[in-house]
Structure 1
Amino acid sequence: MSLATLLVLADGRLPAGGHAHSGGLEAQVAAGRVKDLADVYAFLRGKLATGGLVAAAFAAAACARPAEWAELDAGLDARTPAPALRKASRAQGRALLRAGRSMWSLPAAVVPASGTAPREMHQPVAFGLLAAGAGLRPHEAAVAAAHGSTTGSASAAVRLLGLDPFAVHGLLARLAPECDRIAADAANRSADPVDDLPAAGSPLLDIGAEHHATWEVRLFAS
Structure 2
Amino acid sequence: MSLAVLLTLADSRLPIGGHVHSGGVEEAIASGVVRDAASVELYLARRVRTAGLVAASLAAAVCAGELACGRAESEADARTPAPAARAASRAQGRGLVRLAKHVWPHHDWRVVGARPHLSTVFGAVGRVADATPEQIAGVVVYTTMTGAATAAQRLLALDPAAVAASTVRLAPLCDETAALAVKGLAALSDPLQDVLAERHVRRDMPLFAS
Aligned residues: 210
Q: Runs ≥4 in structure 1, deviation > 6 angstroms?
A: none
Does 1:213 pair with 2:201?
yes
User: Which deviations, in whole Å up to 9, do the C-alpha atoms of 1:78-128 show, x marking residues without a partner?
Assistant: 1111111111110110011101221125865x646xxxx732111111111
Residues 17 and 95, structure 1, Cα contact 8 Å, conserved in 2: yes
Aligned to 2:95: 95
Q: State the distance in 1 between where 2:50 and 2:118 align.
A: 16
Residues 56 and 141, structure 1, Cα contact 8 Å, conserved in 2: yes
Q: State the distance in 1 between where 2:194 and 2:186 align.
A: 17
Residues 22 and 147, structure 2, Cα contact 8 Å, conserved in 1: yes
Residues 106 and 129, structure 1, Cα contact 8 Å, conserved in 2: no
Long gaps (5+) in structure 1: 190-196
Once the two structures are TM-superposed, the CA of residue 161 in structure 1 deviates from its matched residue by: 0.6
User: Which deviations, in whole Å up to 9, do the C-alpha atoms of 1:124-157 show, x marking residues without a partner?
Assistant: 1111111111121111100000101110100001
User: Which deviations, in whole Å up to 9, do the C-alpha atoms of 1:42-86 show, x marking residues without a partner?
Assistant: 000000000110011011011111771110110110111111111
Once the two structures are TM-superposed, the CA of residue 216 in structure 1 deviates from its matched residue by: 2.0
Once the two structures are TM-superposed, the CA of residue 201 in structure 1 deviates from its matched residue by: 1.1
Q: Give the SS at the match of 1:173.
A: helix
AA in 2 matched with 1:27: E
Give 1:155-166 correspondences, 5 Å limit.
Answer: 155-166=150-161
Aligned to 2:173: 178
Aligned to 1:118: 113
Aligned to 2:19: 19
AA in 1 matched with 2:139: A
Q: State the distance in 2 between where 1:85 and 1:47 align.
A: 13
Residues 105 and 134, structure 1, Cα contact 8 Å, conserved in 2: no
User: Which deviations, in whole Å up to 9, do the C-alpha atoms of 1:145-201 show, x marking residues without a partner?
Assistant: 010111010000111111001110111100111101110111233xxxxxxx21221
Aligned to 1:86: 86
Residues 53 and 177, structure 2, Cα contact 8 Å, conserved in 1: yes
Residues 107 and 129, structure 1, Cα contact 8 Å, conserved in 2: no
Aligned-residue CA RMSD in angstroms?
A: 1.6
Residues 101 and 107, structure 2, Cα contact 8 Å, conserved in 1: no
Give 1:193-204 correspondences, 5 Å limit.
Answer: 197-204=185-192
Match among 116, 124, 135 for residue 130 of structure 2: 135
Long gaps (5+) in structure 2: none
